[in-house]
Structure 1
Amino acid sequence: MDSALVVGGTRFIGRHLVEELLAHDYRVTTFNRGKHDDPFEGDDRVHHVQGDRTDRKALLTAKREVEPDVVFDCVAYEPREVEHAIDVFGGVDAYVYVSSGAAYADEDVPKREDETTLESCTAEQATDDSPETYGPRKAAGDRIVFEAAERGVNAMSVRPPVVYGPHDYTERLAYWVHRVAEYDEVVVPGDGTNLWQRVYVEDVARGMRLVAEEGEPGEAYNVGDRNAVTLDRMLDLIADALGTDVERAYTSPRELEVAGLDPEDFPLYRDYPHLLDTSKVEALGYESTPVAEAMERTVEAHRENGRTGEEEGPDREDEQRLLDVLDTL
C-alpha cells in the first residue's frame, strides 16, 4: 500500500494518523470540509481535497483524484456515511472505519470483539446526533463493515475507548490536568477506583495502520492502553508529570448532592468498569505507549496550549463549597 486517503485528518485522531502514515512512507491525502486549521498546510507531503463527506459526489471526486490504496474513515458518525464510503471506495485494498468501545452493549469485563454483544440501532437513532445514540450509531457502522466484507470488500473497523493525547479538543482529560496543576485539593467522585480504559492517540493511529496492513476483512479490533488505570492512578500520573502532589476529597453521591453535583458530572467517571481486550490487535504487532510516558506528553501539550477543560466538569466554586462542608464534618 502506497497511497492513503484520510477522511478527516486535521483535528485529533486523523491528525496523528497522517503523521503515522508519513513516518511509514505513505503518500497521504486528507479529505474534509476545511473548516478547521490545517496543521499540514504548506507540507508538500500531504495533499488535500476539500469536500463534505456526507456528499457522495464529493467522495467520488476524491476517489478519482487520489485513487487511494487504503481509506481511513475517521469521521463517520452515522451509518449512512459508512454505507456511502464503502459504496464509493469498495474496491480499495483496505477500508478502515473508526468505531468505538461505546459500540458494545453488554458490560463484559473485558469486552471482546467476537463475543461481546453490540448495541442495537433504530432508524431514529441512526440519524440522531445526540451523545446518547453515539454507541448505537457506531455499532450500526460496524455491522455495515461486516456485511460489506461478506460481499468481498476489504473493510475492517477499529474500536478505541476514550482517546487522549496532544490536540484533544474534547478536553476531558485537560479538566483533571488543570485541577491538579492549579489546586492543592480536588474533588474525586466515589473512591477513585472506577476504571474507564483509555488509549493514547498515537497508539490509535498505529493500530489503524496495522489493521489496514495486516488485518482481516470483516474483523473489528479493539485498541487501548495495555495498562488501564483507575481515576485515582490517573491523578497520580498527572501529578508526576507536573512534578507536584494533590490531595483528594473522595465523595459519595450523597455528599456530592450538597453542591448539587452527581458523579457523572465529572469527566472520565464511569460507575461500571469499561475495559477492552486488546489481544487481537496485539497479534498484528500493536504495542501501546507506557501510560506514564503518554501522560507526560499529554500534560505537556495541554499546558502549552492552555487547555483547561473547565467546561467539561463542575465549576470550581461548587467544588469549593463542597470541600468547605466536608472540612466541617
Structure 2
Amino acid sequence: MREVCVIGGSRYFGRHLIDLLLAAGDRVTVVNRGSAPAPPGTDHVRADRDDAAALAGALGDRAFDAVIDQVCYTPAQAAVAARVFTGRAARYVMTSTMEVYAPPTSSALPPTTPGSPLREDAVDPAAWPVTGDLGDDPATRYAEGKRQAEAVLAAAALPTAFVRSAHVLGGGAQDFTGRLAHYTARIAAGEEVLVHPRPQPTVFVGHREIAEVLRWAAGADFTGPVNACSHGEWDAAALSGHIAARLGARPPRLRTARDGETPSPYSFDTYYAMDNSRAATLGFPFSRTSDWLDAAIDDAARA
C-alpha cells in the first residue's frame, strides 16, 4: 500500500484522481484549509499550505511515497513545499499547465511555429529565473507563477515531476470554469461566438484522462516536465463547428472580436500546442480528443 498525499484539488478532476488512488489501494491523505470536506476514505489534514511551520506541524510524523500538489501557483508556495516535504516524500508531482508556454506571458519564451508542437525543453525549469515578480496581468501572473514554481522545485533536493496539463474539458457541472458550457449555450441559442481573426490551434485533455496522468506520474520514476494532452489539435472555429454538429444546431455564428471585446475561451491568436511524445515514451498512452469530445459536449449541454 502506497502512502499518497494530495494537496488541494478535491473537486473536478482532483476528485477523479483521489478515486483512482483509492481504487488502486493507496492510502490517501488530503491537505486543504478545511473549506471543503475531504472525500470519504481519505485522511484529512487541515492546514494552510502557504505556512511552512503550520503545514509541517499538521502533518506531524507522516511520510509519503508520493505527493501530488494540485494547487501550487507561486514560487513562494513551491518553496514551502520544498521545505516541508524534502525528506518526508520520496516523490513530488506538481500539477502545472500548458500556459507555461503561452507566448504573450513572457518575452523570454522561444517563438512558436504553427504545426510544430512544443516539447518540454522549450521551458526548462532548471534554467528559468526565480525573481518573485509575477506581473500584474492575471494570465501572465498565472503562467509566470507556474514557471517560477517549477524552477523552485527543480532546484530542491526533492525528486519532482511537473505535469503540464492541456486545457481540461468534460465533467459537465463539475467543470467550474464554464468554458465549454460557454460554447454549448451560445451555439445552441444561435448566439455569436467571438474569436480572434485567425484562431490558432490548441490542445485539450479530458477531465478523467488528466486524473489518470497524475496517478500514473505519482507511481513513475521520471523527473522534470511532461506534457499532458490528448492527440489532435483544435482551433476555436473547428471546435465550434463540431459542437454545433453534435448539438444538431445551425452552423456557429463566428465573429471576430472587436477592440475591447474578449474572444471566447480557447480562441488564441498565437500557437503553442504541445507535443506529448515524452509521456508516450515513458509509458502513458493518450487518447485522441475526438474519442471523448462528444461525451464532454453532451455533459456541458446538460449542465
> What interval of TM-score do these two structures reach, taking the shorter chain for normalisation?
0.7 to 0.9
Instruction: Tell me by how many angstroms 1:271 deviates.
Output: 0.4
* Residue in structure 2 matching 1:216, options 212, 222, 225: 222
Structure 2 matches for 1:1-329, cutoff 5 A? 2-36=2-36, 38=37, 40=39, 43=40, 45-64=41-60, 66-91=62-87, 92-104=89-101, 105-108=109-112, 109-116=116-123, 122-125=131-134, 130-148=138-156, 151=157, 153-166=158-171, 167-181=174-188, 183-184=189-190, 186-190=192-196, 193-217=199-223, 219-242=224-247, 244-252=248-256, 256-257=257-258, 262=261, 264-305=262-303
Q: CA RMSD in A?
A: 2.6
Q: Deviations over 1:84-105 (max 9, x none)?
A: 1121111212100112212222
Partner of 1:319: none
Q: Is the 8 A contact 2:235 2:266 kept in 1?
A: no
Q: Deviations over 1:98-152 (max 9, x none)?
A: 12212222343311112446775533328x683321111111111112212xx3x
Three-state SS of the structure 2 residue aligned to 1:169 is: coil
Three-state SS of the structure 1 residue aligned to 2:152 is: helix
Q: Is the 8 A contact 1:187 1:249 kept in 2?
A: yes
Instruction: Tell me by how many angstroms 1:233 deviates.
Output: 2.5
C-alpha separation in 2, matches of 1:120 and 1:173: 34
C-alpha separation in 2, matches of 1:54 and 1:222: 27
Deviation larger for 269-278 or 104-113: 104-113
Gaps in structure 1 of 5+ consecutive residues? 306-329
Q: TM-score under structure 2 normalisation?
A: 0.84
Partner of 2:104: none
Q: 1:90 to 1:13 in 2, by over 3 A?
A: farther
Q: Is the 8 A contact 1:29 1:66 kept in 2?
A: no
Q: Deviations over 1:246-302 (max 9, x none)?
A: 3233434xxx43xx653x432111101221111111122222333234323323433
C-alpha separation in 2, matches of 1:224 and 1:17: 16
Instruction: Tell me by how many angstroms 1:82 deviates.
Output: 0.9
Q: 1:79 to 1:173 in 2, by over 3 A?
A: same
Q: Deviations over 1:180-228 (max 9, x none)?
A: 23x23533424675212222222222222222222423x1111012112
Q: TM-score under structure 1 normalisation?
A: 0.78
Three-state SS of the structure 2 residue aligned to 1:86 is: helix
C-alpha separation in 2, matches of 1:177 and 1:27: 39
Tell me which structure has the larger Cα radius of gyration: 1
Q: 1:89 to 1:117 in 2, by over 3 A?
A: closer
Q: How many residues align?
A: 288
Q: Is the 8 A contact 2:199 2:237 kept in 1?
A: yes
Letter in 2 for 1:248: P
Partner of 1:325: none
Gaps in structure 2 of 5+ consecutive residues? 102-108
Letter in 2 for 1:212: A
